[in-house]
Structure 1
Amino acid sequence: MVVDRKNTKRVVIYINDSQKNNLQTFLHSIGFHYYTIQSKLEGSWEHGIRHLNNHVWPGSEAVFHLIVSGFKVELLLKKLKSFRMGLPDNVVMAVLVCPLDDFIYNMMSVDIEPDDSTEKVHWLKDDE
């Protein structure tokens, strides 16, 4: 996988768990093979649209996490729109696009000097 570390976006796709396999098949059909999936998530989208996976309203969501080169995001969104248009109206699908400051695919191959010191750091303070 070749990705420009400084020109990437995080794309998160929320979809009904029942459509997880369809989205996986679709992503592979367009040549996209790099993602992570979280399945069987419970959530509330808005008043009246809840998937709490209980006896009253069975069902759950899946979340796909993708890393995409910035210039390819618009193309991916167009393809996802086409995919969504082929699904039933009652299927929940949302997409979140976030900028990334950096994306390090392999820590062993990145040019970062390791720090083996045992010095304590106050991680939540900005004044140091």
Structure 2
Amino acid sequence: MREEFLHFKMMMVYINEAQKSRLEEFFDEINFYYYGIHKKVETVWSEKLKHKNTNIWPGTDCIFLLTVPEKSVDMMLKYLKTFRMSLPQGIAMSVGILPMDRVIPRLYVEDIPVDEELLEKLKNKHIK
């Protein structure tokens, strides 16, 4: 296990889907690229603020899953708060921070054993 891939946090950023491209551009501006995006997420923020993709509760949100070194979490929070302050007041945006045991950026080359018998089965399954 390589030390450089330990001590990370996952930051889950919930934001109105209409702001998705704006947040992506912001990440480009700060040279941050370790994230994934889940679109069309229905959320309930309060009794009166719901994004359920219906006529009564229109809109959806998206979730950005950021992989951030533990030592950089406070700086990322500062960046995200600064970004949020640039948006109109009514935009819903929140952040959750979760522990991560480790990050494996390239599973193919990681020093993890392979189940050879299962590998053969899988390879043969797709060769017909």
With the shorter chain as reference, the TM-score category is: 0.7 to 0.9
Structure 2 alignment gaps of length 5 or more: 119-128
- Residue pair 1:4, 1:69 contacting (<8 A) in 2 also: no
CA distance in 2, matches of 1:115, 1:85: 50
Q: Percent identity?
A: 36
- RMSD over aligned CA atoms reads 1.5
TM-score w.r.t. the length of structure 2 is: 0.83
> TM-score under structure 1 normalisation?
0.83
- Judging by fraction of residues, say which structure has more helix: 2
What 5-or-longer segments of structure 1 have no aligned partner? Answer: 119-128
Whichever residue aligns with residue 108 of structure 2, its letter is: M
Map of 1:36-75 to 2, 5 A cutoff? 36-75=36-75
- Residues 39-90 of structure 1: CA deviation (Å, up to 9, x unaligned): 1111212211101111122110011011111111111110100000111111
Number of equivalent positions: 116
The letter of the residue matching 1:115 is D
Match of 1:126 in 2: none
- How far apart are the structure 2 equivalents of 1:70 and 1:44? 29
Tell me which stretches of 4 or more aligned residues in structure 1 moved more than 4 Å. none
